[in-house]
Copies of this chain bind each other. A is one copy, B any other.
């Protein structure tokens, strides 16, 4: 059961104290407080864990500090959509709103290879009006003998260049808690020129210890990729590890499933789950067409599979796109074959724009609303 308290309630107020003394009196019920910072106000949620079936909704609602009561179902306690659950599916970061209703594009380098590449990329983003990017500093690789990313060494110039070209948020994968410290330090050293969205990759979707640590900090939002050998349900439960530790600023990313059924694509594209994740949870949903497709093949209509697969996510309501570009794909140290060229960035944005408009037209039809 979740009690949504009145906005901006003061922990020293009389009504809050009365709530506390009431809760202390409940036997066999554990209490957890979560504070959710919205665009306009701070919401306090009180989560009651244990044998809540016996609790009275009416008694709860009668408490003066309580604005709303949600009886949660078993699944996805923090992030799920429960009955009478009107909590928003959005959060703010760096002046941007991330929600199930809008769309952000994070085009960038799969792996940072040099300051020159980073600058070319940033320059192209700025020229195309983009304020978000992806930059891979820590690269988990199948083999220990492959390039593992430049790590903390590249952070200062990545952040500085981001600031120089007006980038507000960089999606960056981390694979160990120490990377979080390194990112904080580099941001501080460089004067906080940009923001970071921490990315948890598909190999670490069930690295619960890392999720807990990332969940305990509330500075950076988290982009959690679906695990490639587990069910969707299990990946959504992994997101609960983040949320239950306190950080609900989570975007869930689909990136394709590893199975030869997906050939000739690199992975089996799973963007049909975009509407499903939005139904099951309140998380915005990201798609990663680059890792799904893994090549630059194009269809008989002359359009790249990469564009087509991106369009499939967007037409179904995807809220974020993570896509690989590179100034010179042939020389990229990681995943070059799937990277788009910088001169294709405007085409890509144009293509996404057409599709997003079609999605918004679909959504505006009256039968959509009335059919609910």
**Other-chain contact of A227, B229, B344, B354 (Cβ < 8 Å):** B229
Q: Does A325 contact B (CB under 8 A)?
A: no
State in angstroms the CA–CA spacing of A372 and B299 once bound together.
Answer: 10
B residues in contact with A230, CB < 8 Å: 228-229, 258
Q: A302-331: contact bitstring with B at CB < 8 Å (1 yes, 0 no)? A: 111101110110011100000000000000
Q: Does A204 contact B (CB under 8 A)?
A: yes
- Evaluate contact between B305 and A312: CB separation under 8 angstroms: no
Query: Contacts A309-B316, A357-B358 known; A264 to B303 CB distance under 8 Å?
Result: no
B residues in contact with A308, CB < 8 Å: 272, 274-275, 315-317
In A226-271, which residues have CB < 8 Å from any B CB? 227-234, 237-238, 240-241, 244-245, 257-265, 268-271
- Evaluate contact between A272 and B265: CB separation under 8 angstroms: yes
Q: Does A120 contact B (CB under 8 A)?
A: no
A12 nearest CB across to chain B (Å): 31
Q: Does A176 contact B (CB under 8 A)?
A: yes
B residues in contact with A244, CB < 8 Å: 144-145
- Interface residue count for A (Cβ, 8 Å)? 94
Point out residues on A near B: beta carbons under 8 Å. 49, 77, 81, 89, 100-101, 140-145, 175-176, 203-204, 206-210, 212, 227-234, 237-238, 240-241, 244-245, 257-265, 268-276, 278-280, 282, 292-293, 297-305, 307-309, 311-312, 315-317, 344, 347, 350-351, 354-355, 357-358, 361-363, 365, 367-369, 371-372
